[in-house]
A = this chain, B = another copy of it.
Amino acid sequence: MSFNENLKSLIKSKKSHLCIGLDVDETKLPQSVLSSDEPILAFNQQIIKYTEDIAVVFKLNLAFYEAMGEKGYRILQETLSMIPKDVLTVADAKRGDISNSSSMYAKAIFEDLGFDAVTVNPYMGFDSVEPFLKDQEKGVFILVLTSNEGSSDFQQIESADGIPMFLEVAKKISKWNGNDNIGMVLGATHPEELESAVKAAPKLSVLIPGVGKQGGEVKRVKAAFKDSEQGPYIVNSSRGIIYASSGEDFASEAREAAKELRDELN
């Protein structure tokens, strides 16, 4: 089954569009896990246990694990091993390089670590993305319009065709979707533009960061996905869920925050 089909069916069976970002910062851990042998793993384990029935996807931003140095790789591996099969895993890696280097990244992320999907930067074009696309079961979320302020610097530059760069990207990548495993990253902070990108590439799945702390509104996001023929979409929240409480109740409070966002999305 293709990644996009798999994602669609999981969203249906779990009745959830929720993606939880396991972006764990050593400096923000609750007191109650600090006595564990490996506080970050203890934290991730609790968050996963309390939210795995609510989330369809766990997204792990590799920057947070790489910043831990050598032990980061082991923590990443052990965290992945705790995630049950009915929750897909996305390596939020934003990779992209010339073809032989991208093949190496694909090997590291899909084969060695065993992620189900990855985020990829489109700037270097097709041959930089292609090595990630080969296995139809592995998903590739390509940055189209990101949630941050700097998205206006290049993504929104108007092309000679009179459309913004991010729409050029959306249109072109939708032609690369022969394996039905491409998705777009579209920030919730740009609701109108999100809608236009979904219209330009309706078959692609969509990963939406930027709700909560970054300011994106859930109801504006939902409005872009009225057509049931569209590709599946997931909405990510990281800090708003995993740091819902800094007390001993952090895991149960994360569960409540996750439920709330899931229900708001339904």
A residues within 8 Å of B by Cβ?
23, 61, 63-64, 66-67, 69-70, 72-74, 77, 92, 94-99, 101-102, 104-105, 107-108, 112, 121-129, 143, 146-155, 157-160, 162, 165, 168-169, 172
Contact = CB atoms under 8 A, between A and B. Distances in A.
24 contacts: A61-B104, A63-B95, A63-B97, A63-B101, A66-B105, A66-B108, A70-B73, A94-B96, A121-B123, A121-B124, A122-B154, A123-B123, A123-B143, A124-B143, A124-B148, A124-B155, A126-B153, A153-B172, A154-B165, A154-B169, A157-B159, A157-B168, A159-B160, A160-B162
A154 B123 contact: yes
Nearest to A187: B98
As for how many copies of this chain the complex holds, the number is: 2
Contact of A95 (B23, B94, B125, B159): B94
Contacts of A151: 124-125
Contacts of A72: 108
Given A69-B112, A108-B63, A143-B123, A99 B148 contact: yes
Contacts of A168: 154, 157
A61 B97 contact: yes
9 closest A-B pairs by CB: A125-B150, A125-B153, A63-B104, A67-B104, A66-B108, A63-B101, A158-B160, A127-B150, A69-B112
Nearest to A172: B153
